[in-house]
Amino acid sequence: MGLNKRRVNSLWRLKGRLMLRSYTRERGRLVGAIMAILFLGPMVIAAAIGSALGYLRLPDPWPAQLLGFILVLLWFIWLIFPIFFSSLNEAADITRLLIYPLPQRDIIASVLLGTLFDYPTYLMLPLLLAVLIGWGASLALPVVIIAILLGFAHMIFIGLLVGTALGGVLQSRRFRDIAIIFTALLGSSCYFLQVGFGRLIENVTQNMSQEELLALQPLPILQWFPTGAAAQAIAQASDGQWIAALGWLFYSSLWLLLIVWAWWKLIVRLTTGEGFLFARAPRPQKEIKTAPARAATLPIFLRRLPPDIAQIMSKEFKSIWRTPLRRVGLIQGLLVPIFMGGFILIRNESSISSLTSFNFIGLGLPLYALFIYWVTSFNMLGWEGKGLPVLFLTPVSRRRIFLGKGLALYIVASLSFLLVGIIFTLVLGNWVSLGGLLTGLISGFTTIGVTAVFATLFPSPIHQESRRRRSSLSTRGGCLPALANLFLLVPLIFIMAIPAAVPLLLAYFFDLPWVMFVALPLSLAYALPIFWLGCRHSANLLATREPEVLAATRVED
């Protein structure tokens, strides 16, 4: 029984239509795709040209080694790709087709054809074309073509398998939360990993002899991977070892069958509610409680505050801690100085001793504080997500909403800042860094006062369940909030913090530490009213534009 061409054509066109609409309805995706093609396209073409030259010009056995390396690397990239980029768009979701009487082969064929609508496919093609150019000009051409097609199918289906497995994992909110944090942190630590990897390569190449390096032929290991076997088949065929080549093609095909089978099985299991990997055992019946639910109590340090402000602060703490993307923001803020410090240490182990001799590094702490307070508090209304209408339906004073949110955000950001600031102050051990720490804490009030006003004037939506940290800096909320946040908010935060930093700057330039400690209360006397005025002004603004703020922050399901 063959494929039903009409059905496959319909499925293929459905995927194309959904894909096209995902780009036209969500401009951010389109911009992302164009940027990816513009950024990665030239790199891929350069790599393809380089690899083709390598296949043709390198002495034996290196062309075969290079081929194995590239095909396995591509396979790994496709394996990892869904972890970072699967956004569960409906074009890729074939589980919706399972209610229709469609044979498995039609769906699989349409999935393979549907990859023509995925731009990553086109990023892979130049490298596969290079294989054809490098190895096809011989009697081995049929094997090369089969191996390339096999490799292509391997890459598509491993991506689908991982994507589906991830979808299964993401059905659980706890796993989804962990995935959000993991993805965001891995993305943000790429720079550090790159530095570490560079250092590793440097060590390996410096410490190994030429003979040892030449003995590092990866193909004997890589051939056991699905696409490595395809590479070995090409290498064997070009040496005239036809039986061995067919053997490797057969081995690679078995892998493909296994992966396709596992993918299909997983889809069916997830769709029919059999659970991810293993069937779920029925949970024991919970004992029914008859007592009323446990009362939620406020933390001790909030109990002396007015109840509405205390409740708003308490809600804000819970929301920050329980929303993975907000937690990621805080962790990323902490990672910046750790990565920078780590980078300095990797480059030069003696840097730490030289650091202490530079007083001016302490002046950087208030700048870091501005960054932390900004990252934590900007678009504070957008972060309310679906709960914002609840807040706006209540009769609580809008000034108290901003005071509650502002104080909660100040405390959270201060904890992050203090963690890093105290370490720096202890390491540097000078009065400038202590002054920087105190000035940073004070400037947090001016920063949050400013961000509160901007949150009301330029709010934008934030999808809290998204797997990537999106913010007002993305185009999702439109261009105006993004531009305002970058070009107005950041300079204004800096300008408003300058008066608070005057005592530190005066003390530093005239080398008079006592000036700073005497004048710091004046800084506080400046910063606290700015915070209060910011909250009051935001509340006045909000009173005239609540429906507009709601419309601007609305998140579609």
Partner 1 sequence: MDIPAVEALGLTRHFGQKTAVANLNLTVAEGEFFGFLGPNGAGKSTTINMLVGLLRPSQGTARISGIDIWQNPLPAKRLLGVLPEGLNLYQRLSANEFVRFVGSMYDIPAPEVESRAAELIDLLDLTLDADKLIIDYSHGMRKKTALAAALIHAPRVLFLDEPFEGIDAITGRIIRDVLQQLRGQGTTIFFSSHILEVVERLCTRVGVIADGRLVAEGTINELRERAETGSATTLEDIFIKAVGATADVQNSGKLSWLK
Q: Is 450 within 8 Å of 485 (Cβ atoms)?
A: no
Q: Is 409 within 8 Å of 376 (Cβ atoms)?
A: yes
Of 26 and 308, nearer to partner 1 (C-beta) is 308
Residue 521 binds partner 1 (CB under 8 A): no
Q: How far is the CB of 308 from partner 1 (least distance, A)?
A: 6
CB atoms within 10 A of CB 274: 14
Candidates 17-25, 89-97, 144-152, 390-398; binding stretch for partner 1 (CB under 8 A): 390-398
Residue 541 binds partner 1 (CB under 8 A): no
* Residues 145-184: x where in contact with partner 1 by CB under 8 A, - otherwise, as a string: ----------------------------x-----------
Candidates 144-152, 192-200, 313-321, 503-511; binding stretch for partner 1 (CB under 8 A): 313-321
Q: Is 392 within 8 Å of 557 (Cβ atoms)?
A: no
What SS3 state is found at 216? coil
255 CB-contact burial (10 Å; exposed 0-12 / middle 13-18 / buried 19+): buried
For residue 155, which amino acid is it?
A: M
Q: Is 168 within 8 Å of 265 (Cβ atoms)?
A: no
Residue 286 binds partner 1 (CB under 8 A): yes
How far apart are alpha carbons 17 and 5 in whole angstroms? Answer: 18
Q: How far is the CB of 311 from partner 1 (least distance, A)?
A: 4
From candidates 296, 349, 357, 479, binder to partner 1 by CB under 8 A: 296
Q: Is 414 within 8 Å of 343 (Cβ atoms)?
A: no
How far apart are alpha carbons 186 and 552 in whole angstroms? Answer: 30
From candidates 280, 283, 294, 304, binder to partner 1 by CB under 8 A: 294
Of 73 and 298, nearer to partner 1 (C-beta) is 298
Q: Is 339 within 8 Å of 191 (Cβ atoms)?
A: yes
Residue 281 binds partner 1 (CB under 8 A): no
Structure tokens of 89?
A: 């768009």
Candidates 105-113, 128-136, 314-322, 409-417; binding stretch for partner 1 (CB under 8 A): 314-322
Write the CA distances from 171 to 164, 454, 496, 499, integer angstroms: 11, 36, 45, 50
Residue 300 binds partner 1 (CB under 8 A): no
Residue 540 binds partner 1 (CB under 8 A): no
Sign of CA dihedral 372, 373, 374, 378: positive
Give the gyration radius of the chain's Cα atoms: 29
Candidates 56-64, 99-107, 233-241, 319-327; binding stretch for partner 1 (CB under 8 A): 319-327
Q: Report DSSP state, residue 273.
A: T
Residue 319 binds partner 1 (CB under 8 A): yes
Cis previous bond, 61, omega within 30: yes
Q: How far is the CB of 239 from partner 1 (least distance, A)?
A: 58
Of 142 and 307, nearer to partner 1 (C-beta) is 307
Residue 499 binds partner 1 (CB under 8 A): no
Q: How far is the CB of 452 from partner 1 (least distance, A)?
A: 19
Length of the chain: 557
From candidates 289, 300, 357, 510, binder to partner 1 by CB under 8 A: 289
Residue 101 binds partner 1 (CB under 8 A): no
Residue 390 binds partner 1 (CB under 8 A): yes
Q: DSSP characters for 525-549?
A: HHHHHHHHHHHHHHHHHHHHHHHHH
Candidates 249-257, 309-317, 373-381, 473-481; binding stretch for partner 1 (CB under 8 A): 309-317
Residue 389 binds partner 1 (CB under 8 A): yes
Candidates 95-103, 184-192, 283-291, 359-367; binding stretch for partner 1 (CB under 8 A): 283-291
Of 323 and 472, nearer to partner 1 (C-beta) is 323
Sign of CA dihedral 114, 116, 120, 126: positive
Counts of helices then strands in the chain (DSSP H, E): 22, 0
Interface residues with partner 1 (CB under 8 A) are 173, 286, 288-289, 292-296, 307-308, 311, 314-315, 318-319, 322-323, 384-397, 464-465, 543, 546-548, 550-551
